């Protein structure tokens, strides 16, 4: 299954991350035909932020040794915890079922959008992605393609390289969940706001090159 997640607040054609994830999906569908596909738009249908009931239930689960999701209902106490689990389990199930995860990730204030962070917080439930017998990650074979769009330039050697908290965050989170380094693909289109930010004037050619390179990477990975 391909799980396609968009997190840009901009639902129009101005969204570079949405255009690039759409490119991936088009190529993927040409290759895989009727294979299962799911799209989750975190801007159109936001994931609710965590409440105290979620953290209370999570701690109770941790004390039991990270039980699998199928055994969590037996540990739920009260309607508030049940509501949190009902909001969480479908997201965990989607992610566990995916062979490929496609993320559209614009850079907001040097990191990921709040909509994506809310999804990350909710699916990162204790024990959700660990084999209960071996402790090994269930996502070891999952492929992740994160398409990042940045209004400025944050690549290696640029003055704002150290301002990029998007790339290391995604690497750390997916790695901590057990996704193999060779299965995590981070693609960045930079200088996407060159047409509206005066201080980027003169960098139009670099923006075009970055977008073209990102599009090529996206299509290559979709066809793989």
Enumerate the known binding-site residues: 15-17, 107-110
| Tokens 């799911």, residue located | 38
* CA angle centred on 145, ends 178 and 204, rounded to 5°: 140
DSSP state letter for 157:
T
| Tokens 């907001």, residue located | 108
Binding positions for FMN: 15-17, 107-110
Distances (CA, A) of 110 to 3, 46, 83, 160, 171: 25, 21, 33, 10, 15
Angstrom distance (rounded) from CA 192 to CA 210: 9
Question: How are strands ordered across the β-sheet holding 37-41?
Answer: 37-41, 2-6, 100-106, 143-149, 184-189
SS3 161: helix
Angstrom distance (rounded) from CA 167 to CA 172: 9
């Amino acid at each position: 299954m391909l799980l396609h997640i968009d997190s840009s607040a901009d639902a129009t054609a101005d969204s570079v991350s949405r255009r690039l994830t759409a490119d991936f999906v088009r190529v993927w569908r040409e290759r895989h035909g009727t294979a299962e596909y799911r799209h989750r738009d975190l801007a159109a249908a936001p994931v609710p932020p965590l409440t105290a009931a979620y953290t209370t239930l999570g701690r109770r689960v941790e004390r039991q040794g990270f039980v699998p999701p199928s055994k969590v209902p037996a540990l739920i106490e009260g309607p508030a915890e049940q509501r949190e689990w009902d909001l969480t389990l479908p997201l965990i199930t989607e992610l566990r079922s995916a062979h490929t995860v496609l993320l559209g990730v614009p850079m907001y204030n040097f990191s990921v959008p709040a909509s994506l962070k809310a999804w990350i917080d909710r699916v990162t439930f204790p024990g959700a992605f660990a084999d209960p017998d071996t402790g090994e990650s269930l996502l070891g074979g999952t492929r992740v393609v994160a398409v990042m769009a940045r209004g400025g330039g944050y690549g290696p050697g640029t003055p704002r390289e150290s301002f990029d908290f998007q790339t290391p965050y995604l690497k750390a989170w997916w790695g901590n969940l057990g996704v193999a380094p060779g299965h995590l693909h981070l693609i960045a289109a930079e200088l996407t706001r060159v047409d509206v930010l005066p201080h980027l004037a003169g960098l139009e050619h670099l923006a075009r090159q970055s977008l073209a390179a990102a599009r090529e990477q996206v299509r290559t990975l979709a066809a793989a």
